[in-house]
A and B are shown apart, each in its own frame.
Chain A
Amino acid sequence: MNEFVFSDIHIGLEQSFEATVSADKLDKFLEISGDNNPLHINSEYARHKNFPDRVVYGLLTSTFYSTLVGVYLPGKYAILHSIDIKFLKPVFINDQLKIVGIVSYINEAYKQIEVKAYISNQAGVKVSKANIKIGLIDE
């Protein structure tokens, strides 16, 4: 886990990691959220709607933004203030995802940083992007 403190942070600081979404994670998300929309749990229905297979929940993929903040940028001393997410393309089971965050603004007075983040797939296509506001509680 990274332990960036406020004074370490600068505009352009970038962190990234890779992740995949397994079928098991979809099942667990269904259990947690209760979202049983057939697009996420029924392959046949998804294909009927012109998707190659069932679509990963947008908010399941977005849990990686939580990991980006809490583990990588800034890591240990983060407290999440807000995330504004846009879903650009569907994600499918076992897609190879890369999660990237870059510091875009620093508010000195209240120790809040803004991170522009995105998730791309194995084809390099952005599947979502996010503006994230994070407080630093290092001192």
Chain B
Amino acid sequence: MNRAQIFEKVQEIFRDIFDDQSLNINDATNSDHIDDWDSLNHINLVVSIEKEFNIKFNFNELSGLKDVGAMIDLIVEKIEK
């Protein structure tokens, strides 16, 4: 799975979590850009991504992420391991 394919799946997850099929994310998207991106929805995002890609994150990895692009890079790194 390449980065673009991962991005597409992550976009679908965002649309599901925020219940907005018109939502478009990009690498620079962060919680300032989506009104409903609160702490509980952040956990929902992380859990959905873990399940979709069959990976696990630890707290330190997640706390350093600044935007969607960094999250995608982390997913790529974990899938390649």
* A contact set with B: CB distance below 8 Å: 81-82, 105, 107-110, 112, 114, 133
Q: Which of chain A's residues has its CB closest to B42's CB?
A: A110
Query: B50-68, CB under 8 A of A: which get 1 and which 0?
Result: 1100001111011000000
**Set of chain B residues within 8 Å of A81, measured between Cβ atoms:** 40, 43
A-B pair number, CB within 8 angstroms? 29
Q: Are B40 and A107 in contact (CB under 8 A)?
A: no
**Bound CA span A7–B43, Å:** 19
In the complex, the 9 A-B pairs of residues with the closest C-beta atoms, listed nearest first: A109-B59, A109-B57, A110-B43, A107-B47, A109-B62, A112-B43, A109-B58, A81-B40, A109-B46
Excluding A107-B50, A109-B62, A110-B62, 5 further A-B contacts by CB distance (< 8 Å) are A109-B46, A109-B59, A110-B46, A110-B59, A133-B44
**Set of chain A residues within 8 Å of B51, measured between Cβ atoms:** 105
**Set of chain A residues within 8 Å of B43, measured between Cβ atoms:** 81, 107, 110, 112, 133
Q: Are A82 and B40 in contact (CB under 8 A)?
A: yes
**Bound CA span A51–B59, Å:** 51
**Bound CA span A44–B46, Å:** 50
Which of B40, B43, B44, B51 is most buried by chain A, counting CB atoms within 10 A of its CB?
Answer: B43
**Set of chain A residues within 8 Å of B61, measured between Cβ atoms:** 109
Pairs across A and B, CB under 8 Å, 16 listed: A81-B40, A82-B40, A105-B47, A107-B47, A107-B50, A108-B56, A109-B46, A109-B56, A109-B57, A109-B61, A109-B62, A110-B43, A110-B46, A114-B47, A133-B43, A133-B44
